[in-house]
């Protein structure tokens, strides 16, 4: 092959390659304007991604509307089913009475009229763990005496009250401290700087964390120099408290809702002066109303506290208990259908004059209802506030345990 022929082929190849590059650079523009080459020393810059031109592209397919989920058939879901209603206390107390009343009166408000069976499981932390780990199908619920926020501080707790499914609060926000008439004390201020007799309270507190909301009592005793002893007992529900008071094992008692129940559970105790009001520890803005045997008559504890120093601590340690008394919860992550059906059924029951009147007549517990969605929000906020103050509350609990628990 001649040198001239090879040279011609090379020239043609170079020209072809040059034209190809030019066409790629210019796209479909038939009259490209040449651009000067960038200076060799220029720093490299990121190449912008060109915008996509969809003017000639096929139109995007229209999304097919997803059919709405069928409305939950609450009637079909609950019909023929059994709801297990857990109680973390022994039979005979206020929470047990609430659950047994509901087992008879609530089913007719639930679509499908399911059967409700009450199961007692103690201690309460064990019961809460059981509900927490149960299937979230709306068929395992718990009637609680308090919001349970303090209980999650127990070493054996597996639950987080921010995540439970709240059905609704049926009563609250009351809390009291009462004494036997034999102590000779009147209301709280009569025990300030007293030298005796020593007030005794019974609670199940094997560790400082188990003091729970009862820690408000020794903290208050420290503020006002009230003689106090806390007796660690195996169980401390209402049923056990009645017996301890009757036997003289303790001479005082702190609880919630039971003020209203006493004329039913222990007729004559208030009227005769066997058990006397001592301190109204209810949530701010909530006052203990008269029961059928008398007025409570003692001032709110918060009225004795310094607003800048003592009151914030008082609210931090009592708020988790007094924000709600009797309430109905389920496991975390309950399906929306069953949860909303149960919330609506509880609201319907609590709005029914006959149901509310029967509840008071049977249990003594007044109707102070908070709907489920609102109660859920309040529970999360109150639990978070407790967690935010956990270090301070732990310090108070440890000091109280060392000083007062016998």
The answer to whether the beta carbons of residues 116 and 82 sit under 8 Å apart is yes
Residue 66 falls inside a structural domain: no
169 and 259 share one domain: no
Residue 161: predicted pLDDT: 93
Strand pairing category for 327-330 and 140-144: antiparallel
Amino acid 57: pLDDT: 38
The predicted-structure confidence for 56-78, as pLDDT tens digits, reads as follows 333 433 334 434 446 899 999 99
Residues 187 and 280 in one domain: yes
Model confidence pLDDT, tens digit, residues 205-219:
888 877 877 899 999
Which CATH number goes with the domain that contains 313?
A: 3.40.190.10
Q: Are residues 395 and 258 in the same domain?
A: yes
16 within domain boundaries: no
Domain presence at residue 60: no
Q: How many domains does the chain have?
A: 2
Q: Return the CATH number at 164.
A: 3.40.190.150
The answer to whether 95 touches 255, Cβ cutoff 8 Å, is no
pLDDT of residue 70: 63
Residue 158 lies in a domain: yes
For helices 238-247 and 94-105, give the axis angle rounded to 10 degrees. 140
Question: In whole angstroms, what is the distance from residue 242 CA to residue 275 CA?
Answer: 11
For residues 253 and 327, state if they share a domain: no
- CB-CB neighbours of 360 under 10 Å: 15
**Of 170, 172, 163, 112, nearest in space to 139 by CA:** 112
pLDDT of residue 54: 37
Longest dimension (CA), the chain: 133
Enclosing domain of residue 160 = 74-173+323-388
Q: Residue 104: inside a domain, yes or no?
A: yes
Please give the model's pTM, rounded to 2 decimal places: 0.71
- Tell whether 222 is covered by a domain: yes
Segments of the chain scoring below 50 in pLDDT: 1-69
Give yes or no: residues 249 and 368 share one domain. no
Shared domain check, 310 and 208? yes
Same domain (yes/no): 94, 167: yes
- C-alpha distance from residue 390 to each of 136, 206, 207, 209, 310 (Å): 29, 19, 16, 11, 17
Contacts of 381 (CB under 8 A, 6+ apart): none
**pLDDT confidence of residue 38:** 39
| 187 and 158 fall within a common domain | no
Distance in angstroms (rounded) separating the CA atoms of residues 82 and 98: 18
Residues 284 and 358 in one domain: no
Residue 40 lies in a domain: no
Q: Note whether 98 and 236 are same-domain residues.
A: no
Same structural domain, 290 and 145: no
Same-domain pairing of 208 and 314: yes
């Amino acid at each position: 092959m001649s040198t001239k022929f090879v040279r011609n082929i090379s020239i043609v190849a170079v020209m072809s390659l040059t034209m190809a590059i030019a066409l790629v650079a210019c796209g479909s523009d038939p009259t490209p304007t040449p651009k000067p080459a960038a200076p060799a020393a220029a720093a490299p810059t990121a190449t912008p991604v060109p915008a996509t031109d969809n003017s000639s592209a096929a139109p995007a397919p229209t999304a097919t509307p997803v059919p709405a989920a069928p409305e939950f058939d609450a009637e079909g879901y609950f019909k023929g089913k059994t709801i297990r209603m857990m109680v973390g206390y022994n039979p005979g107390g206020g929470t047990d009475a609430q659950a047994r009343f509901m087992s008879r009166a609530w089913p007719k408000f639930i679509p499908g009229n399911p059967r409700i069976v009450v199961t007692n499981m103690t201690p309460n932390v064990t019961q809460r763990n059981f509900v927490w780990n149960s299937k979230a199908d709306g068929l395992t619920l718990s009637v609680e005496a308090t919001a349970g926020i303090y209980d999650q501080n127990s070493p054996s707790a597996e639950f987080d009250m921010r995540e439970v499914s709240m059905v609704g609060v049926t009563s609250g926000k009351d809390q009291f401290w009462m004494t036997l008439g034999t102590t000779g004390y009147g209301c709280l201020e009569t025990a300030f700087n007293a030298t005796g007799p020593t007030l005794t309270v019974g609670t199940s507190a094997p560790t400082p964390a188990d003091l729970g909301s009862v820690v408000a009592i020794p903290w208050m005793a420290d503020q006002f120099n009230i003689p106090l002893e806390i007796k660690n007992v195996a169980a401390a529900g209402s049923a056990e408290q009645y017996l301890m008071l009757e036997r003289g094992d303790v001479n005082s008692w702190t609880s919630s809702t039971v003020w209203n129940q006493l004329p039913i559970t222990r007729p004559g105790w208030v009227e005769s002066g066997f058990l006397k009001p001592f301190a109204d520890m209810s949530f701010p803005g909530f006052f203990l109303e008269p029961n059928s045997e008398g007025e409570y008559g003692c001032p709110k504890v918060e009225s004795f506290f310094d607003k800048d120093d003592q009151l914030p601590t008082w609210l931090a340690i009592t708020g988790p208990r007094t924000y709600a008394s009797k309430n109905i919860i389920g496991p975390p992550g309950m399906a929306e259908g069953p949860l909303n059906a149960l919330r609506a059924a509880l609201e319907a029951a609590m709005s029914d004059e006959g149901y509310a009147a029967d509840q008071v007549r049977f249990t003594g517990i007044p109707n102070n209802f908070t709907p489920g969605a609102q109660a859920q929000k309040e529970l999360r906020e109150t639990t978070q506030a407790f967690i935010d103050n956990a270090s301070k509350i732990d310090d108070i609990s440890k000091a109280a345990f060392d000083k007062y628990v016998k």
